[in-house]
Structure 1
C-alpha cells in the first residue's frame, strides 16, 4: 500500500509536535485549493463566453448587412455553376456603322437521344425522318438500336420543329438549350461576315466560333467576356451594301458575266463602306468548301479580296502620276505614241492608232499602251517598284479578314524593262480589286497613303505622302476627262462629277497564254472628282454585252454602266447632294409693285 503524504507537510509536522490532528490541516488546504481552481475555471469560462458573444455579434452584423444589400438589388434567377472549364456560349453582336445588326445570337435547342430510354426506336426514327428530310430513316434506326447510349440527332431546332419532336412522345428524345449565330440579312455582306459554327459542344450549351471573314478574324474579341457584350462595329453601311449587291447582281446578269466584285471606300479614312463578291451565299446555311476544281468557282471565294487579276489600263494613272511627281512630265507633255513599240521579240500596240504623239492627259483619256510604256521607261524599274510598294501593290492587304493573306499579288520573278512597260498598263502584275481601291484612294485623296479597313474610324488616316497635292489634283482632272470625253463616257452621273479609268485585260489560261474571248473588265472611279470622297471599283469576270451585232467585252461597255448605276443609287444614301445647275426662268418677266 502506497501512502500519500499529508499536505502541507511543514504545518502537518508542527501540528504533530503540538499534538494536534493533521487531517484537519490537510482538509483545510484541500478546500482552499478547490476554491482557487473553481475561481480560475470561472474566469476562463467567463472569458470564453465574452469571446463567443463578440463573434455572434459580428456574425449578426455581417448577415444583417448582407440581407440589406440583397434587399436593394434586382432579383435574378439563380444559376447553377459547373465544376471545370465551362463552355462559353456567349458571342458579341456585329453591327454596321449605324448600329444596325449584321450578326447576332438566337436562343434555340439541340436534339439528342438516349436510345436505352426509347420505347419504340423504329417509330421514333420514322417520325424524325419525316420532320427532318435530310435525316435518313435507316441510319437513325441503326444508331438508335446499336450499343451507343448517347446520339446527336440535330444541332439546331426551330420552335416549330421542337414542338413536332415533342409530339412524338418518346422519353428517349431530349432537348438541350444552346445559342446559334443568326445573320438576319441573309446573304447581304456574306463574304465579309464569313460565318460561324460550333466548337466544343455539350447537351446544355455549345461554343460558337467563327469560321471565315471578320467572324474568324475577330473570334477572340467576340468571345471575350471582358467586353461585356459590347458589339463589334464595322465600317459597312448596311443600306449601301444591300443597294450595291442589288445593282451588281443586275449588272452581272445583263452583262452575262461569270462573276463580279465591287469595293466602295472612303478615300480619307480607308473605311470600306461596301464590298461585294458575286456569286455569294447565305451564312445561315454556309455551303461546303469545294474539294476539287477551281476554288474561284465556289460562292465562298471572295473575288474582291482573294481574287488577284491583271486589271489592265486602270494602272495607267499610277504611271503618269509618278512621272509627274518625279518632274519627268506634266499634264501637257507630248508623249511619243508611234507604234508598235518594239522590245526584243515583244511588240506593244494600242487598241487604235492614236497618231504620232499624245499629251500626257490624252494618254490617259484615250488609254494608250505605247504612251504609258514610254513614260514607264523614263521612270525605270526600281522607282516604279518603289512607288507601287508605297501604294500597297506588292503585298497582301491588311484588311481585317482571315482571307486577306491569300490575296497576295502575283509579281514578276524578274522585274525587267519589259515588265516595267507591261506593268505600267496593268499587265504582268496581278492584284485584287481591294488593292486597286486602296491605290486609287491614296493617289486621289490629296496624295496620302490609306490602308483599307473594315472597322469604323474616328477620322482621316493621314498616312505617309505618296504624291504631292498638285499631282493628286492633276490626276483627278485626268480621270474626269476620261468620263467626259474618253473611254468611260457611260460613267457620267448627273449631279455627281465622276472621274475614273477603264481597264480590260485578257484572261489568262490555267496552263499559260490568254483567252481570245474572255476578259476581266474593270472601272476604277472616284466621286465627286473635284472634291473626292469615295472610290468605287467594279470588276466583271468574263462579261459580254450582246445587244449589238458583235459581243462587246471592253470595260467601257460592261463595267462602266454598272458602276454608273451604282453611284446613282448609293451617292444619295451616302449623304452626297447632287450638284445641280440652277437655270434662269424662261419666259418669265419679273416686276415690282414699287
Structure 2
C-alpha cells in the first residue's frame, strides 16, 4: 500500500485489489517510455550512418586524397626521374622498408635487442637498446632494410616493432655519372649534383606545400648521353691505371649549344651508397676543383694576341734567349733556341714566344680578355658544385707573363673547355648547361668574344698541332682531332713541385667544322713503361684519342677519309 500511495494520483476503487492495480500500471508504463526508445534508436542509427558514410567517402575518394593518405603511409613524396638525352633512366624512386619501434609498447627491451641483433648484427647494441627502452612514442631503428631482413624480423613477432614503407632513390648506373647526377639524403631530398638542382628549382617548394604528393611528375631530362658517359669514365679509369695517376677527369662539350654531353671525375663514388661522397679524393675536379691549366692557356694567349690586331699569324718572335723579369727566368722546355713564327710558338709550346705575345698586348687587355672568356669568374650553370677561380690581387707585368703560359691563374677544367669552345665555334661564348638546349636557344644567349677570323686562325693552329705538334697522339684517323697539350707543375704550400704534374689535353673535332670540345686532365701521372716522358703528349693526348675513337659514332660524327690535310685557312 505504501507504493500505491506514492504512485497513484487518485484513490483506487474499493472493488479493485492492490495486485490488480499494479498489473494495470505495468501495462500503461511502456506506452509512456516509447518516445524515449524511438529517440535512442534514431541517434544510434545516425551515428552509424555517419561512420558508414565516411568509410564510403574514403573508398571512392579522388586520386589526390588517396595519394595524400598514401603519403602519410610512405613518409615521402615521389621525386621526378632523371633521364639522359635518349630517355635512359639515371635516377628513379623505388620502395623500401624501414624499421621503427614504439618504445612504450616494447615489453622487454633486452629481449627485443637480442632478437633484432640476430637479424641485424651490424647495428650498435647500445644504440638499439636505448631506442627500444626509451619513453617516446616513435623511434627509427634502421632505415632501408632488405626484404629478407624485413621478413626475418617479422617472423620474430616482437611487440612494439614495426615497418614503414618509404621511397628510396636508385641509380641504375651506379658510379657512371655520380658527380653530375648527384645524390639524395636519407629523407630522399637532393643534396648534390642535379638532384639538388631539381630541389632548388621548385620541387622542394612543391613538396613543402604538399603539392608534390599524388602528382605524376614529368622526368627531368639531362644533356648527358649515358653511352658516351660510360666510355669517358671507362677510359679515365684505364688511364689512371696505366699512368699511375692519382686522379683523372674529362668533359665533352657541344660547341654550338654548350650542352655537356659527358663529364666524369675519378675517383668517384656510388650514389646508391654515398658514404664516400665527401672524401677529399672524390672531389668533382671538373667543376668544383681549380687548377693551373698549364700550356693549354697558350691557346687563349694566342687568340688574344691575334684578336687584338697587334699580332698577326705571320709574325715572328725571338725565342733564342730566356726572359728575365722580376727575379724570375722564363725559358722553354726543350726549346728551339731561334726565332719562331706564331704557328711554331703554338706547335712547339714556347713559353718565351707566348710571353712575348702577351707583352705585346699589355697587362690590362690581357686581364680583360680572360675575363671576357669567363675564366676569372664563377661559372654559371645548373650544377651546384662550381668553384671560384683564383687570380692575382694585382696584375703586374710579371703576372701577365706567367699567366700567358698557364701559371698564376687557377680555374676549373670545365671553364677551360667552355672558353675553348668559343675559340673554334666562330668566336661565341655559350654558357654550359647540363639540360637539353636547342641551337636556337643557344644562339639567343651566345656572346661574341673574338672575331670569326680569329676563330678560323685558331682552328688552323689546333689542326696544325694535331697533325704535326704535341697533339699528334690525340688524332684519330678520319676524325681530324686538333688541340693543345698542357703540362703544369703542381703547386703545394705555395711552391711548384718538380716531378708532380697536372697534365691536360684540350682538343676539338672535327677541325674542318668543330662540333665537340674534349678535355682530359690527369693528376700526377707517371711515365708509362716504354715511354720516354710523362708529359701530356704521352698520356692525356692518347686518352683523348681513345675517347674520340669510341664515342664519335654515338655523337653522330662520321669519319672522313677524303682529301688529307684540307686547307683550313684561305690566306694570311
User: If the TM-score is normalised by the length of the shorter chain, which range does it land in?
Assistant: 0.7 to 0.9
The aligned residue for residue 459 of structure 1 is: 439
The aligned residue for residue 504 of structure 1 is: 487
- The whole-number CA distance in structure 1 between the counterparts of 2:152 and 2:424 is 60
Query: Is 2:561 the partner of 1:580?
Result: yes
Q: Relative to structure 1, is the Cα distance of residues 447 and 80 closer, same or farther in structure 2, using a 3 angstrom cutoff?
A: closer
C-alpha RMSD of matched pairs (Å): 2.6
Shift of 1:157: 2.3
Query: Is 2:546 the partner of 1:558?
Result: no
The aligned residue for residue 279 of structure 1 is: 267
The aligned residue for residue 374 of structure 2 is: 392
Query: Is 2:314 the partner of 1:326?
Result: no
3-state secondary structure, aligned to 1:218: helix
The more displaced of 461-470 and 554-563 is 461-470
The more displaced of 144-153 and 480-489 is 144-153
The aligned residue for residue 159 of structure 1 is: 147
Paired residue total = 495
- The whole-number CA distance in structure 2 between the counterparts of 1:562 and 1:194 is 25
Shift of 1:127: 3.5
1:141-191 Cα offsets, whole Å, 9 max, x none, are 343234444321112123222212212221321111221111111111101
- 1:96–1:233 contact (8 Å) kept in structure 2: yes
Shift of 1:340: 0.6
Match of 2:549 among 568, 572, 578: 568
The aligned residue for residue 505 of structure 2 is: 523
The more displaced of 428-437 and 454-463 is 454-463
1:302-357 Cα offsets, whole Å, 9 max, x none, are 10011111111101111111211122222221121122111131110000231321
Consecutive unaligned residues of structure 2, counting only runs of 5 or more, are 1-56, 565-572
Shift of 1:120: 4.5
The aligned residue for residue 36 of structure 1 is: none
Match of 1:532 among 492, 499, 514: 514
Name the TM-score, length of structure 1 as normaliser: 0.79
3-state secondary structure, aligned to 1:269: coil
- The whole-number CA distance in structure 2 between the counterparts of 1:283 and 1:80 is 29
- 1:350–1:368 contact (8 Å) kept in structure 2: yes
The aligned residue for residue 478 of structure 2 is: 495
Alignment of 1:91-490 (within 5 A): 91-199=79-187, 208-220=188-200, 221-223=202-204, 224=206, 225=211, 228-287=216-275, 297-299=280-282, 301-404=283-386, 407-460=387-440, 461-462=442-443, 463-490=446-473
The more displaced of 327-336 and 448-457 is 327-336
1:443-502 Cα offsets, whole Å, 9 max, x none, are 111111111111110225231211111211110111111121111221121110000100
- The whole-number CA distance in structure 2 between the counterparts of 1:352 and 1:375 is 19
- The whole-number CA distance in structure 2 between the counterparts of 1:147 and 1:232 is 44
Q: Relative to structure 1, is the Cα distance of residues 151 and 83 closer, same or farther in structure 2, using a 3 angstrom cutoff?
A: closer
Shift of 1:80: 6.4
Q: Relative to structure 1, is the Cα distance of residues 275 and 147 closer, same or farther in structure 2, using a 3 angstrom cutoff?
A: same
Q: Look at both structures and tell me which one has the larger radius of gyration over its CA atoms.
A: 1
- The whole-number CA distance in structure 2 between the counterparts of 1:168 and 1:245 is 45
3-state secondary structure, aligned to 2:457: helix
3-state secondary structure, aligned to 1:367: coil
- The whole-number CA distance in structure 2 between the counterparts of 1:251 and 1:80 is 51
The more displaced of 305-314 and 158-167 is 158-167
3-state secondary structure, aligned to 1:189: helix
Consecutive unaligned residues of structure 1, counting only runs of 5 or more, are 1-66, 200-207, 584-594
- 1:447–1:469 contact (8 Å) kept in structure 2: yes
3-state secondary structure, aligned to 1:358: strand
- The whole-number CA distance in structure 2 between the counterparts of 1:75 and 1:275 is 40
- The whole-number CA distance in structure 2 between the counterparts of 1:160 and 1:370 is 68
- 1:115–1:149 contact (8 Å) kept in structure 2: yes
Shift of 1:365: 0.4
Q: Relative to structure 1, is the Cα distance of residues 386 and 79 closer, same or farther in structure 2, using a 3 angstrom cutoff?
A: closer
3-state secondary structure, aligned to 2:414: helix
- 1:121–1:145 contact (8 Å) kept in structure 2: yes
- The whole-number CA distance in structure 2 between the counterparts of 1:514 and 1:381 is 24
